[in-house]
Structure 1
């Protein structure tokens, strides 16, 4: 009997095991049947295509500007600019025909998608004459813009600085190193990848056009006019800028037609008609401490008529150390010019440089080629180099200039002062 009981128990145990396994199998199957694969996350719906907004034109008159030459339209111009700058498509800031009076104004970026509106000027902009209206030294400023394009009307006086005796009588700016309220008419500041064309700028209170901290800019078909005796009225000034191309301009002013200041790199000036004025100059350099170098200047195919200088490099005595190198002046015509070719490292317009010591601006690799015409002072070529840092590698080739003899038998000649290392003169007559 014990055997049967044990056998029964074993059978029962076997059944229990099978039952348990069966139940577990069913549960496992049931559990497996309820398991679903984790679905992949849904992809977000595609963004709708960006709308192609039509190009919009923002007329300053629609924002309150009045073309009577008397009503101050500064506020209206700013409102129109802000609307054009914020527009979510291509835009044009448009100034129609007529005369618009403007006080100091800054057209600031960045604009939508970092792209500047185009600027079209068909009328005449008149600067407020009163110097006390200008808190800074600029009239019209375009600031922090990419892809900037300004086009004017070459047959109209586009920008009139309304300079006159009140602005130009500041003889202290010639006699002193400190000048205040010298108002530049058009300033491009931190502007890149753009063009300026077909504009006329006249009678600025000081500089007519300046490029400051700009890159990849071209200016062409420009007329700049001011009386020959209006001081400090440079035509175009370049400062701390690179890759600037100035082409096809007629400039007659009371100072440099084109001046290239410290920190300029790869500057090209071509097809310029200069006169009256002080010629085309690099400098003055060395006025301030720690000035950046000037490297790579090309001046070609220009005509100087009745100017005080032709092509010039000028530095101040006692300057901090810097370099001016790799300049080429070529294919230039001089007509009755006073100083056709001049390097002046003793430039001192304020008259207070006598005890400053020699200039520390290092001038090197200067090329003067195919320069011809007439001059009216005894010296055709003047190299006034620093006694502290010699000029190096000065090359003159194919210079053919004639001294206009007035009531004197003095012959034109070549003048050298300071120290020059590596002077070469080829096939030249002056």
Structure 2
């Protein structure tokens, strides 16, 4: 099989995933290199029949054809979106009934630009007003093929500039999936986050190519590569992300996560959080390894962001603070940066610019057992002379934070860190 030139150039390797998935059986854990998942990923059963999705090819909605093919080939089959064909999706697709099935996307799948319909009918998820065009769930589901999912984002970028309270759909919704492989795939022009993974386990993302910028003066905003929520034992690897927000974000109640071999450009870094946004909620992120990352033209490299104990406002459509929880056993090992504002940023004052108020109402969420090691590169100089910042709202909620072999300087050669209420080991 072939892989995109971008991925091949970035990593100098081929990802034999499609071929593996088409074989009688394959092991997800074996393709996780060089590090292995926190827990073994379940294998994928053989697929014994194939269904092809019919398309109109003239912009009419193909949603019914997709559901028909899935129902025919569910439980042991493969559903193919043929190469050189364009499919239009104009209806929200609930695909949480899938079991032992592959979706081989070779063609171009584009979601319609009917913003009124999608705001009314996209799937309302349970975190930060997240909505999705579709949701895939079930057991042993693989989505691959090197084709394209296109969110038709430009109309949304322009609409959001007029009204920041609109509900912009997320391009890919993985909701309630146990055992699955996503990729290789090309993801383009998402209205908001590219991928939302919720209430899922044992999922591998391998060979995802993300890109999509605005062609107008209205930026494509909040285009996170991945947002993980209430999920465990997820692997994200061998992917290229060109976006305008977090490359990967670990939202509340995420455990046993491996992220490796990523090329991130234009992002806000690989982020734990934001956490502690909602009073009365307990947010936990624990056991995360982030390994071998290239980070370019970003606000941050490694980032942990926690809301303070009192209320704060990040923007018109993002406020919070006062939640409790724990961030524990997080390791960032191996990151090369170029033109990044902060190589490392840890804050318990997320959304609160007034540090006096942040210290008066310290975070209720503890951060402990954090490791940053083997960083190298040059910052943007925007925070000169600092190359990093670790700001805790109280020493009582920050402990055992270690940094070693940090070879990062600003363009002027400075290498300072700002540290507040924490002893950096």
TM-score (norm 2): 0.77
Residue equivalent to 1:71: 60
SS in 2 for 1:148: strand
SS in 2 for 1:230: coil
Residue equivalent to 1:188: 174
Larger mean Cα displacement after TM superposition, 161-170 or 192-201: 161-170
Residue equivalent to 1:283: 273
Residue equivalent to 2:306: 315
- Per-residue CA distance 1:365-402 (angstroms, 9 max, x = gap): 01001001000231112001122743100100100012
**127, 130, 134: which is aligned to 2:114?**
130
Residue equivalent to 2:50: 57
Q: CA 1:303/1:54 → structure 2, altered by over 3 Å: closer, same or farther? A: closer
Q: CA 1:346/1:127 → structure 2, altered by over 3 Å: closer, same or farther? A: same
After TM superposition, give the deviation of residue 342 of structure 1 in Å. 0.4
Residue equivalent to 1:335: 338
Residue equivalent to 1:215: 201
- Does residue 82 (structure 1) correspond to residue 71 (structure 2)? The answer is yes
Say if 1:344 and 1:384, in contact at 8 Å, map to a contact too.
yes
Matched pairs, number: 348
Pairwise mapping of residues 5-404 of structure 1 onto structure 2 (< 5 A)?
A: 55-61=48-54, 65-68=55-58, 70-85=59-74, 90-97=76-83, 98-111=85-98, 115-134=99-118, 135-136=121-122, 137-143=131-137, 145-153=138-146, 156=147, 158-167=148-157, 170=160, 179-227=165-213, 229-288=219-278, 289-318=280-309, 319-348=322-351, 357-376=361-380, 377-378=383-384, 379-387=386-394, 389-404=396-411
After TM superposition, give the deviation of residue 165 of structure 1 in Å. 4.9
Q: CA 1:291/1:152 → structure 2, altered by over 3 Å: closer, same or farther? A: farther
Equivalent-residue separation in structure 2 for 1:416 and 1:366 (angstroms): 15
Say if 1:312 and 1:342, in contact at 8 Å, map to a contact too.
yes
SS in 2 for 1:116: strand
Q: CA 1:310/1:169 → structure 2, altered by over 3 Å: closer, same or farther? A: farther
Say if 2:157 and 2:221, in contact at 8 Å, map to a contact too.
no
Equivalent-residue separation in structure 1 for 2:91 and 2:357 (angstroms): 38
Say if 1:358 and 1:388, in contact at 8 Å, map to a contact too.
no
Say if 1:139 and 1:184, in contact at 8 Å, map to a contact too.
yes
Equivalent-residue separation in structure 1 for 2:352 and 2:161 (angstroms): 11
What are the ranges of 5 or more consecutive residues in structure 1 without an aligned counterpart?
Answer: 1-52, 425-430
Aligned-CA RMSD value: 2.5
Equivalent-residue separation in structure 2 for 1:234 and 1:197 (angstroms): 17
Larger mean Cα displacement after TM superposition, 184-193 or 388-397: 388-397
After TM superposition, give the deviation of residue 104 of structure 1 in Å. 3.9
What are the ranges of 5 or more consecutive residues in structure 2 without an aligned counterpart?
Answer: 1-45, 123-130, 310-321
- Per-residue CA distance 1:308-349 (angstroms, 9 max, x = gap): 111100011222220001000011101111111000111118
Q: CA 1:189/1:350 → structure 2, altered by over 3 Å: closer, same or farther? A: farther
- Per-residue CA distance 1:21-48 (angstroms, 9 max, x = gap): xxxxxxxxxxxxxxxxxxxxxxxxxxxx
Structure with bigger RCO (C-alpha 8 Å, 6+ apart): 2
Residue equivalent to 1:25: none
SS in 1 for 2:298: coil
Equivalent-residue separation in structure 2 for 1:100 and 1:182 (angstroms): 21
After TM superposition, give the deviation of residue 183 of structure 1 in Å. 0.8
TM-score (norm 1): 0.76
SS in 1 for 2:171: strand
Larger radius of gyration between Structure 1 and Structure 2: 1
SS in 1 for 2:157: helix
Equivalent-residue separation in structure 2 for 1:140 and 1:162 (angstroms): 14
- Per-residue CA distance 1:258-310 (angstroms, 9 max, x = gap): 11111000111110000011111111001123133110111110000111111
Residue equivalent to 1:30: none
Say if 2:271 and 2:305, in contact at 8 Å, map to a contact too.
yes
Equivalent-residue separation in structure 1 for 2:408 and 2:365 (angstroms): 29
Say if 1:360 and 1:386, in contact at 8 Å, map to a contact too.
no
